[in-house]
Structure 1
Amino acid sequence: MRYRRDDVVARAVDVLDRYGLADLTMRRLGAELGVQPSALYHHFPSKQALLAAVADEMLARSIWPDGGPWEERATGVCSVLRDSLLAYRDGAEVVATVWSFGLGAAHPYEALVGALTEAGLGELAPVAARTLLHFVYGHAVDEQTHLQAASVGAIDDEPRESSDFETGLGLVMAGIQLAVAVRRA
């Protein structure tokens, strides 16, 4: 049976969520689809290209803020991104790596740059956007790693009862708001 690119990506997201990044191999994905691994290279020239498509698909499944004041949009993008990362096993690692390598997962960055440019940050908008992404990716990787390690008994710690994500995001946003106020003054 021939599969479309979208079918391969959807199955790859499923394999990632069930088995994790370490077990998302072309061989496993081929077996899941009932094709030789080499058939997957018809759609993706490399595993990195597949992971980029997986990251983009994971993000595309979310509803992103597109209106309102810049502060609400920036905070909303960060919150939606975090939720998107935590919705899939190893999702934070996949999306952060794809974005870091410049292979995809660009929507959150572009949305943040748009909101921060509107705020009046000028040439600092890309820096502020990357700072927000570094916070979100780092926090999500920490949360996801801790949860997975605790759930399989790899660490002697219970899964955390709550997250300090919103508080931390508020601190970063307060710094950005201060930078905006200084630029406007």
Structure 2
Amino acid sequence: MQLSRPVIARAAVEILDAYGLADVSMRRVAASLDVAPGALYWHIDSKQALIAAMADEIVSPVLAETHEDPKAFCAALREALLSHTDGADVVSAAAAQPDSPVFPALMSGIRSSFPDSADTAEAAAAGLLYLTLGAANLHQAGTQLKELTDGSGNVKYGSESELGQAIDLLLAGLDAKTH
């Protein structure tokens, strides 16, 4: 197997899914690929770069699709984030890195799902992205807390229906402003 950024990212996401973000390290990823840790640094130079590569891996299916509207984009993004242990944390951490391409790629993806080029669509796209990332983080954290405790009760925040209603409100406001 030839090492590359995508191969390393996939191995790191497998560790993420099995153990969570706290247990993802360059040393552990290298061991899973049966290479010396130093071999990874040729392709990924830091833990921050590894997190960005993992985020790319998590969101790439969303960005590869064409979405009929912003709500569909947000639903696909939420699904991708929640399909991986700590996926929302990884993507949020990567999006917060100043040089990471994750946030601009997500912005471009959600922006392209808007039917028009209204001046306010850029701000609406940013709002929807913040809303989706935040809701997924809350939902994932609540689910994990539920699993760590007695497991009773429902996860209170960040549900799919709650996010859908918030997106509808934001889009209705945008529509009212542009018409």
* TM interval, short-chain normalised: 0.7 to 0.9
Matches within 5 A, 1:102-117: 102=98, 103-105=100-102, 106-116=104-114
- Which structure's CA Rg is the greater one? 1
1:64 and 1:76 in contact (8 A); partners too: no
User: 1:6 aligned to 2:3?
Assistant: no
Query: How many residues get paired?
Result: 177
C-alpha spacing 1:125/1:94, structure 2 compared with 1 (3 Å): same
1:120 and 1:183 in contact (8 A); partners too: no
The answer for the alignment partner of 1:173 in structure 2 is 168
| In 2, Cα distance between equivalents of 1:143 and 1:79 | 14
The answer for the alignment partner of 1:90 in structure 2 is 86
- State the percentage of identical aligned residues: 29
2:62 and 2:73 in contact (8 A); partners too: no
The answer for the alignment partner of 2:26 in structure 1 is 26
The answer for the alignment partner of 1:151 in structure 2 is 147
SS at match of 1:61: helix
1:120 and 1:180 in contact (8 A); partners too: no
- Shift of residue 26, structure 1, vs aligned partner: 0.7
SS at match of 1:30: helix
**TM-score between the two structures when normalised by the length of structure 2:** 0.85
- Shift of residue 107, structure 1, vs aligned partner: 3.4
C-alpha spacing 1:168/1:4, structure 2 compared with 1 (3 Å): closer
How well do the aligned residues superpose, as a CA RMSD in angstroms? Answer: 2.5
Please, which runs of 5 or more residues in structure 1 have no aligned partner?
A: none
Aligned AA (1:146)? G
C-alpha spacing 1:67/1:83, structure 2 compared with 1 (3 Å): closer
| In 2, Cα distance between equivalents of 1:109 and 1:8 | 25
Aligned AA (2:101)? G
Please, which runs of 5 or more residues in structure 2 have no aligned partner?
A: none
Aligned AA (2:60)? A
SS at match of 1:119: coil
The answer for the alignment partner of 1:60 in structure 2 is 60
| In 1, Cα distance between equivalents of 2:89 and 2:168 | 23
1:53 and 1:104 in contact (8 A); partners too: no
C-alpha spacing 1:181/1:65, structure 2 compared with 1 (3 Å): farther
**TM-score between the two structures when normalised by the length of structure 1:** 0.82
